[in-house]
Structure 1
Amino acid sequence: MNKTIYQSRAIQAVIVIITAILLLSIWPLRIFKETVTTSVGSPAEEMQAYTVNEESMVMQTIAAQYDHMNTLHLYLGADVQGSDFYVRILDKDWQQVCEEKVDIDEAALPGYQEVEIDVDMEVNALYYIIVQGDQSEIQVMSVPAAMTDMPFLGELYYQDASMDGMSLVADYDYGMPLRKMGMLVCGAAIIIVAALLLLLVKVIYRNREDKLITVEKAFKTVMNPLVAAGTLAALIATFRGTFSHYALDNTVFVISILFLSVILFYGINHSREGQNPVITADYLKSRAGDLFQSICIAGALAACCEYMSGLYDIHHAVAERKEMIWFALSVIAMFGLKDIFRVYNLIYLVAAGIAGRSYYQAHLTEDMDDLNRQVLKYTVWIAILLGFIVIRTVIALCQKKLAKPNVWYSALLLVFFALIIIFRNGRWWTVTMAAAFTLLYLNYGMWEHKERFLTNVLRGAVLQFVLATGYCLLHRPYVTFRNARYTHIFHTVTITATYLTMIECVAAVLLLTKLTKTRKLRDIWKELSFFGVVSSYMIFTMARTAYFAVGATVLFALILIAAGKGKARLLNIGKNLGLLVLSVIVLLPVTFTLQRNIPALVSEPYLYEIEYSMYCPEDVMRGRHADSKNFMRVGRFIDVFCEKIFGIPEGTFDIYGEIKEYQRTHQKQVASLNYVPSVDDLYPAKGSELLLASAGELDENGNPVDIPEDNDYTNGRVDIYRSYIEQLNMTGHEEMGAVLEDGEIATHAHDIYLQVAYDHGIPVGIVFALVGAATLVVSLIYYGKQKKTITYAALPAVITVAVAVAGIVEWIYHLSNPCGYLLMLVITPLFFMEKQAAK
């Protein structure tokens, strides 16, 4: 930032950066869209009218021409009674994908009425467009249409009778990314304008003094106006009621916008005197392997998240293989270039490539779908990478490069690995975990940069969370009733809460480690912001068990990492706690506002299959209705939070009467407003068939039946624990679900200790508990020895405590669970306890 450049060069650099961003947005991101319109008929033709009301409807069948329909312009006659009508679209399976209530613009009659569709479609698939009155009567018009001229048109039906050779007079507007010609034209235009601007800058500064300025000044000159303009635009939109018409909502939105602008202005303009640049050419050159390893760790963690969100066994198979590919690459990142570029490696890769291709072709079948092809392809890649790693590992071991291990701890873990393989009871993930992490630990022991590993793990976790949250801000709306407890990138709150528990640990270690060195705001504002954002998403889950796990773990981290001794240490703990709380207070409204409003503006939501089945508010899923009551609101959030966390009856803070109104308008669909599906609701014992939970019971008049309040704070876990304990044995079970008292099969034990003992037998459960206790002890010893030389030496201890506490109430120990994956990663340095040199 302190590097000096000529002013003209700075301006030209900004032009180049903006040009690159615009070109990337055209391709490959393909953000910009174009509208393709297909017109059927016109007012100039002779038309036939059909009267449509509540009893009589018209249905037009079409084949989708593109993958997204924006709008439908339907031509109506002049004879109209009423104020609105309905347009519905059903897919080939007669499932409704769109329902739009259209206000009639009488001034435009006879003429086209715009119907906002905004739904994704399957190209060439059949769809049914139904027009029906709403206590109204309208005239829709049709014209003769030849199928040879418009092959996408199907039959037209009126009152269940086919109108042969006729079709509705309508314009179908499809939205799609710019096509090749559009991309070429726009790209060429952008490049030409950029070239002209670059030339203009050169001409201007040919006849005037070209002053030297710092990169920091150029950065501030560009970013300050952008932030100011963004703040002003957000405030104007809020005051105009773009997002809400409630005073409470808009008050919080305004406060959040001001908080965010202060953070951004501070981040741009704070003094950087004495701060050395982090990213330099020398750093990138010397740490390329570390950055690559962080990216691979992030990729593997993302695959773990994909596994946890998988609805079927095939989804899990794909995600597991993605995880292992990224994991293998993270191990290879520790290899030196001299270990990679060897003749025998080249020979192996050629032979393995030929063998892998032969295997792929031999097992590929014509009826294999995309997911199964991915499984086959990824399996081949894993085998090739595994062989590459094994060759290097064996050779390095023979060369005696392995550092002195922590014998007793290594032996204990090897015993555990052996036991979960011997008593695997049909499970193969235990074999994969033992083999994969044994290779990681061995290669770490032969790595010359061991002190960098925990930093790479932490950066990988941070990177994955940032990317996942960016995706949520674009595609995962925060809706008010059926998803009041926000699920982030997952489909259940339980998975979200356990994932965020791990990220919360990472954020706490990142911040508290920084606080041992400085409390200057300019040095810690990024870490404070990150902790506040992660904590905000954790609060959105309203998961009591997760709050308990996070609270216990953060308290442990506060005590462990605080600097000083005696009273000074206690004072530092208090100050650190105050900063943590302050970061949450500031970032909670900011995060809420961003997550509430940005997906509403983008209007490209992604829902899992389960979520489509559980709720599908039309104005959230289609159209840009940012002020819809179906998006989360402050009053609703407070009401649900107080009910879930403090047990205050729902409706106490329903200041706008939202619950009563929702019950009135949705009484036949919903009885429990806060329902969020859990894993047990969604899966049977084997987890491969999709089940849907009931939305509630209705009385004979169609009104919701009052459900007795469940005061079991453990959500039934005590009964599950009792069943698992009663059914423990010495050798384990093939199925992970125990038989409950009511005869049903539990999905899992909601406890890692019971689950391991149930899956593999009581002796293995005892060894697992011993491994956990030993890991905590060794991680504390490691922190005591390495805290002055290893930046994030506290990470193994903090993650271990988090998994130990969260594992009491949730099943989180699995190769493809983010919690289990991160735990097995961060304990890597514990196997080699030699003192690291300070670097």
Structure 2
Amino acid sequence: MRNTIHKSEAIRIILGILFLLAILAFYPFRLLTGKIAFSPKESGRVSVMRVNGSRDLRQRFHAQYEGLSEIEVEIPQVNAGKYLYAALLDENGETLLDRYLLIGSQGGRVSIPIGEKVEVGKVYTLLLKDCFSEYEVRTLPIDPSVPTEGLLQNGEVQEGRELAGAFVYSVPLSKKTTLLGMAILALLFLVLQAGVSRYYKRFPEKDALYSVKKVLRTVLYPLLAVFFCTLFLLNFPGKAFDDRWGDLLFYGIGILITALLSFYAVGHETFGTLQKKPTLKQVAGAILIALSLQFACEYVNGLYDINHSIAERKLMISLLLLSLLTCKADEICNRFQAIVIPFLGLGALLYCRQNWMIASQKEYELHNTATMLTAVCAVLIGILVVSFFKTLVYRHQLPKADSRLNLFGILCLLLSALLILFRNTRWWGFALVFAYGVYAGRLRDSERREEALPVLAGGLQLHFYASVLYCMLFRLFTGFVFARFSFTFHTVTITAQYLTMMEAAAACFLIDKIRRTEFLEPQTDLRRKRDGSFVSLSRWKRRWKSLWKEFVFFGCVGAYGIFTMSRTAYFSVAMVL
């Protein structure tokens, strides 16, 4: 971060990043889309239908495109309450998604966000119900240009009527438009790059040296300012999230705290930090830890045995890859592996061919996925076994290490025995104990063992923050309907167990960091005052600069634990505190 870079080079790099993001937005992510709406025209008598605790509305329609963006309905009057419940049902009446929406006390044209992939030609149903409310929905005579199939109220067909509003689909830009946009971006990028290069060649005295941190601050400060100012304006006076003063105040405080932390994260000096720069191997290990935890969560959320089987195998693969990261290059790339890996690959192909299901069999895609993952697990286990025996052949023994069994080792052995004994006909206990045993065996070397804690800490924090981001985008805390928040899980009890583990980990990270910063002495910062002297950092300032990330992590986990309203979570947090 303290490396220097010329101003012209920094501008070119930033332009390159922006150009790459813009190209990715066109293709392959296709974030830029067009809108096509199917809306009935007012060609006859307009009527309204009431929705309350005893009446619901169902509008059946044919999907026209794959991306159903939103459905708009017109609510001319709200008699009681401020919210509605909307759900999208498939042909069999199964709920694909549901939404709780604020309609206020005045009503109007309400947009129901969908954002789901649908199958073209199939019949779907929009269900409208009350949410401790009563409101009226506008209907129109059927328009042949709108592909609807029927409007039902409490199961009774309303002949010749359909909802007033619109079915809005998002469609990707055409190939011609995409290529034209990418060509314009490329031309603009080349012109700007040439302009920057020519300008600073003409005025070399302006091509000053800047630190990478200053460049990042110069770029991120305006972006953060625009982002949080927009959020403030959307919150008030826009009232985009709610119209209750208590909620607006709560959201405003949350935005303010997040803004302060974001600006501090960008602008604070890291002179007092105790952490070393993570290596590429440590970053990869943290990602694999996060993936392992995610696959364990998939297992918990799985509804059927086949879902559990796939999640188990994914978990095994991520943990085995984590064990491979502890190997040195010569343990993986050697003549033994060159001989064995082709046979392992051939065996995996034969296994997949023998157990492959054809398309006519039930759940063939899921079973074939499980088969492929099993083959990958076998290949990775074979590579680790060959690496182990290669070490024995050349060294005649494992690397010398401290192999004394301490209290932690005894507890791990006890937990492993309990996982196997109380597996309840499942084999994931064996798989988890085996994978952890392989990884623990690779960590017998003290040098590798020291790197394990930062990897574990990074993986746990990465998974938690990714889950929080996912919940903020897709799993809203509808506290006015459900008082308990289940996070990314089906039940609050599982959420409490997950957050208990995270709270314990956060407490360990925080206590360890507090212990390591206890004897910090005041130190001189790299920033200068106006008179040219250096800024002096007190002992407590240095500790805060090293501890604030752990405090934020601990506080976020505790806050989500409170949202669950679970006795398990409350007891665990109380014990930790």
The two structures share one fold, judged by TM-score above 0.5? yes
Please say if residues 296 and 326 of structure 1, whose CA atoms lie closer than 8 Å, have aligned partners that are also in contact: yes
**Which consecutive unaligned segments of at least 5 residues does structure 1 have?**
75-81, 106-112, 146-151, 556-839
Deviation at 1:190, TM superposition (A): 3.0
Alignment match of 2:230 (pick from 218, 226, 233): 233
Please give the residue correspondences for 1:702-721 in structure 2 after superposition, counting only pairs within 5 Å.
Answer: none
Change (3 A) 1:71 1:542: closer
Which of 233, 241, 244 lines up with 2:242 in the alignment?
244
Name the residue aligned to 2:350.
Answer: 358
SS of equivalent residue, structure 2 residue 286: helix
State the shift of 1:171 in Å. 6.6
**1:238–1:250 CA contact under 8 A, matched in 2:** yes
TM-score in terms of structure 1 length: 0.54
Structure 1 window deviating more from structure 2 (524-533 vs 296-305): it is 524-533
Aligned residue type for 1:255 = I
CA distance in 2, matches of 1:137, 1:167: 9
**Hey, what does 1:321 align to over in structure 2?**
313
How big is the shift at 1:155? Answer: 5.8
1:327 maps to a residue whose letter is L
TM-score, normalised by the number of residues in structure 2: 0.76
Residue 218 (str. 1) matches residue 210 (str. 2)? no
Percent of aligned pairs with the same amino acid: 27
Q: In 2, distance between residues paired with 1:160 and 1:425? A: 49
User: Structure 1: how far apart are the matches of 2:241 and 2:419?
Assistant: 53
Deviations 1:322-365 (A, max 9, x none): 10000110111111110101222122221121221121122122
Is 1:123 the counterpart of 2:122? The answer is: no
Partner of 2:495: 496
1:186 and 2:178 matched:
no
Q: Please give the alpha-carbon distance, in whole angstroms, between the structure 1 residues aligned to 2:266 and 2:257.
A: 14
In structure 2, relative to structure 1, the CA distance for the partners of 1:359 and 1:7 (3 Å cut) is same
Over residues 761-801 of structure 1, what are the superposed CA-to-partner deviations in whole Å (9 max), with x where a residue is unaligned? xxxxxxxxxxxxxxxxxxxxxxxxxxxxxxxxxxxxxxxxx
Q: Distance in 2 between matches of 1:130 and 1:525?
A: 47
Q: Alpha-carbon deviation of 1:449?
A: 2.5
- Which stretch shifts more, 405-414 or 2-11? 405-414
Contact 1:50 1:141 in 2 (8 A): no
Q: CA deviation at 1:17?
A: 2.2
SS at match of 2:202: coil
Shift of 1:91: 3.3
Map of 1:428 onto structure 2: 427
Aligned to 1:32: 32
Match of 2:525 in 1: none
CA distance in 2, matches of 1:343, 1:329: 20
| Cα offset, 1:533, TM superposition | 1.7
Amino acid of the structure 2 residue aligned with 1:122:
V
Q: Is the 8 A contact 1:36 1:174 kept in 2?
A: yes
Following TM superposition, by how much is the alpha carbon of 1:395 offset from its aligned partner in structure 2, in angstroms?
3.1
Partner of 2:456: 457
Q: Distance in 1 between matches of 2:102 and 2:546?
A: 54
Query: Given that residues 393 and 439 in structure 1 are in contact (C-alpha distance below 8 angstroms), is that contact kept between their aligned partners in structure 2?
Result: no
Equivalent residues in 2 for 1:744-759 (5 A)?
none
3-state SS of 1:5 partner? strand
1:441-590 matched pairs, under 5 angstroms: 441-445=440-444, 449-516=448-515, 517=517, 518=520, 519=540, 520=542, 521-552=544-575, 554-555=576-577
The change in CA–CA distance for 1:334 and 1:115 in structure 2 (over 3 A counts) is same
CA distance in 2 between counterparts of 1:272 and 1:58 reads 58
Contact 1:50 1:139 in 2 (8 A): yes
On the 8 A contact 2:32/2:172 being kept in 1, the answer is: yes
1:174 aligns with 2:175: no
- The 1:482/1:211 distance shift into structure 2, 3 A limit, reads same
Q: CA deviation at 1:385?
A: 1.0
CA distance in 1, matches of 2:128, 2:440: 65
Q: Which deviations, in whole Å up to 9, do the C-alpha atoms of 1:19-61 show, x marking residues without a partner?
A: 2333334444443332135689x89xxx8x5876659x99765
Structure with the bigger percentage of strand: 2
Q: What is the root-mean-square deviation in Å for CA atoms of aligned residues?
A: 4.2
1:204 maps to: 199
Q: 1:178 to 1:465 in 2, by over 3 A?
A: farther
Residue matched to 2:529? none
1:430 alignment partner AA: G
* Structure 1 counterpart of 2:344, one-letter code: A
Aligned counterparts, 1:10-159, within 5 A: 10-37=10-37, 61-71=61-71, 91-94=90-93, 116-119=111-114, 120=116, 122-124=118-120, 125-127=122-124, 139-143=140-144
Map 1:701-740 onto structure 2 (within 5 A).
none
Name 1:401's counterpart in structure 2.
398
CA–CA distance in 2 between the matches of 1:479 and 1:73? 21
What secondary structure, in the 3-state scheme, does the structure 2 residue paired with 1:34 have? strand
Task: Tell me how far 1:421 sits from its aligned partner.
Answer: 5.6
What secondary structure is seen at the aligned counterpart in 2 of 1:401?
coil
> Residues 290 and 50 of structure 1: is their aligned pair in 2 closer, same or farther, counting only changes over 3 Å?
same
1:249-286 CA-to-partner distances (Å, cap 9, x unmatched) read: 2223333333333322322333345769954xxx6xxx
C-alpha distance in 2 between matches for 1:101 and 1:530: 31
Q: 1:317 to 1:213 in 2, by over 3 A?
A: same
Q: Residues 528, 186 of structure 1: CA spacing in aligned structure 2 closer, same or farther, 3 A cutoff?
A: farther
SS at match of 1:449: helix
Kindly indicate whether the alpha-carbon contact (under 8 Å) linking 1:73 and 1:171 is maintained by their aligned counterparts in 2.
yes
In 1, distance between residues paired with 2:330 and 2:196? Answer: 47
Give, in whole Å, the separation in 1 of the partners of 2:186 and 2:497. 47
- Answer whether contact 1:325 1:381 (CA < 8 A) is retained: yes
Q: 1:192 to 1:551 in 2, by over 3 A?
A: farther
Q: Is the 8 A contact 2:26 2:182 kept in 1?
A: yes
Aligned partner of 1:386 in structure 2 is 381
- Higher deviation after alignment, 406-415 or 471-480: 406-415
Q: Deviations over 1:173-210 (max 9, x none)?
A: 31145455454343333333333222232233233322
Question: Using the alignment, how far apart are the partners of 2:414 and 2:138 within structure 1?
Answer: 77
**Per-residue deviation, residues 543-576 of structure 1 (Å, max 9, x unmatched):** 2222322332x35xxxxxxxxxxxxxxxxxxxxx
C-alpha distance in structure 1 between counterparts of 2:288 and 2:310, whole Å: 17
Offset of residue 308 of structure 1: 1.5
Secondary structure of 1:205 counterpart: helix
